[in-house]
Amino acid sequence: MPEYVDPIYAYGHGNTNTTGCAITGEAFYKPAIVQFPSEYVNDYFFTDVCSGWIMRYDPATDTASGFTT
């Protein structure tokens, strides 16, 4: 097992819609029964403690986008 694995996503420090200070809550959306739009399945949702936004990361396209504030 490697001692270090690169993060799946990283962003810069700051206080904007695309920067922050630390990921504090996260979850992959992998439901047994899909109750939200199907394009969310397997996406990673995370929030930043300083900026107050929630981002959605799509591992299939390696892109992150704003979800809500």
Can you read off the two tokens belonging to residue 10?
Answer: 């990283």
Average pLDDT of every residue of the chain: 90
Classified as helix, coil or strand, 40 is helix
Digit-coded pLDDT (tens) for 46-61:
999 888 899 999 999 9
pLDDT band at 6 (very low <50, low <70, confident <90, very high): confident
Measured in Å, how far apart are the chain's first and last C-alpha atoms?
37
Q: Which of 44, 68, 46 is nearest to 58 (CA)?
A: 44
What residue ranges do the domains of the chain occupy?
26-68
- The burial of 55, by beta-carbon neighbours within 10 Å (0-12 exposed, 13-18 middle, 19 or more buried), is given as buried
